[in-house]
Amino acid sequence: MIWDELTSMEIEALARNIPVLLPIAATEQHGPHLPLATDRMIGWHFAHALHQKIPDQILILPPVAVGCSRHHMDFPGTLSVSPSGFSGYVEEILESVAEHDFHTLILFNSHGGNQGIGQVIFEQLGPEVPQLIMVTWWKLAVEALLKISESGPGGIGHAGEFETSLMLHIAPHLVKMNEIKSGENQATYTWAEADMLRPAKANLFRSMAEMTPNGVFGDPTHATAKKGEQISNLVVQTLKYMIMELLGEKS
């Protein structure tokens, strides 16, 4: 069910054990070939696809479309809010849901820059909510997702192989095929090198412009719509399994 498509009376009648999912994303540059809405569109695609599979067993909140993207502000079009502004806003949304007596709240993240502040929200609100869960989509099925990739270490980064594949699957009309180029990844310390599926040993702050002048960190030249469909199926199936387990049911 989609939260804001229901009436107040329909919300009132729902069982309170239904998990409530809040997509959190970003509005930021994704290189010359992907739209600013990439993170929001990917997150909403997963949520909507999950809803199509189990419409009566999940409740989807309106997405938070602007997140913590200060590290992208060198690129025109990027929108960003402060960590305190973001956490306060998200916490109050979740507190509103909890006030209506829903027991299981899920933060569903599709933007790397939200992970740290998401953990802060998790720690602050967790003691007040019966069951609070945080999910970042690319962490759901790492081993299976690695088998899909052809770009090698560093290729599954920002606007890289996976995000471009997903957008080719979700909204191919918004992908500028003639602008797809590999990221201009600027090498740094070996312990700080990473991509979405291969985390760094330690974190080193750099702006996205310092990491890659063209705004792409990864290799979108390996992207295909078929890979996007495979990624989508893996993520949605894993999400479905999680929800059914939360409900005490077999998937």
- CATH number for the domain spanning 219: value is 3.40.50.10310
Q: Is the pLDDT of residue 126 over 80?
A: yes
CB 154 within 8 A of CB 188: no
Look at residue 201 in the predicted model and tell me its pLDDT. 86
What mean pLDDT, rounded, does the chain reach?
94
Q: Is the pLDDT of residue 251 over 60?
A: no
Look at residue 203 in the predicted model and tell me its pLDDT. 85
Banded pLDDT at 204 (limits 50, 70, 90): confident
Between 5-19, 84-98, 182-196, the lowest mean confidence (pLDDT) is in 182-196
- What tens digit of pLDDT does each residue of 151-172 get? 877 788 999 999 999 999 999 9
Residue range 214-239: average pLDDT? Answer: 96
Residue range 178-201: average pLDDT? Answer: 87
Report if residue 170 sits inside a domain.
yes
Give how many domains the chain has, as a whole number.
1
Residue range 209-222: average pLDDT? Answer: 94
Report if residue 148 sits inside a domain.
yes
Sheet holding 59-60, edge to edge: 59-60, 20-24, 104-109, 131-136
Banded pLDDT at 185 (limits 50, 70, 90): confident
Domain range enclosing 52: 3-246
Look at residue 174 in the predicted model and tell me its pLDDT. 99
Amino acid sitting at position 178: N
User: Which helix (H) or strand (E) covers residue 92, if one does?
Assistant: helix 83-99
- Distance CA(247)–CA(227), nearest Å, equals 30
DSSP annotation of 27: B
Report if residue 220 sits inside a domain.
yes
- What tens digit of pLDDT does each residue of 175-184 get? 999 999 998 8
Report if residue 251 sits inside a domain.
no
Report if residue 208 sits inside a domain.
yes
Report if residue 85 sits inside a domain.
yes
- What tens digit of pLDDT does each residue of 64-88 get? 999 999 999 999 999 999 999 999 9
- What tens digit of pLDDT does each residue of 12-26 get? 999 999 999 999 999
Look at residue 250 in the predicted model and tell me its pLDDT. 61
- Distance CA(59)–CA(169), nearest Å, equals 24
Q: Is the pLDDT of residue 189 over 90?
A: no
Look at residue 64 in the predicted model and tell me its pLDDT. 98
Look at residue 46 in the predicted model and tell me its pLDDT. 98
Look at residue 197 in the predicted model and tell me its pLDDT. 85
- Distance CA(163)–CA(39), nearest Å, equals 8
Q: What percent of the chain has pLDDT over 70?
A: 99
For 212, phi and psi rounded to 5 degrees?
-160, 110
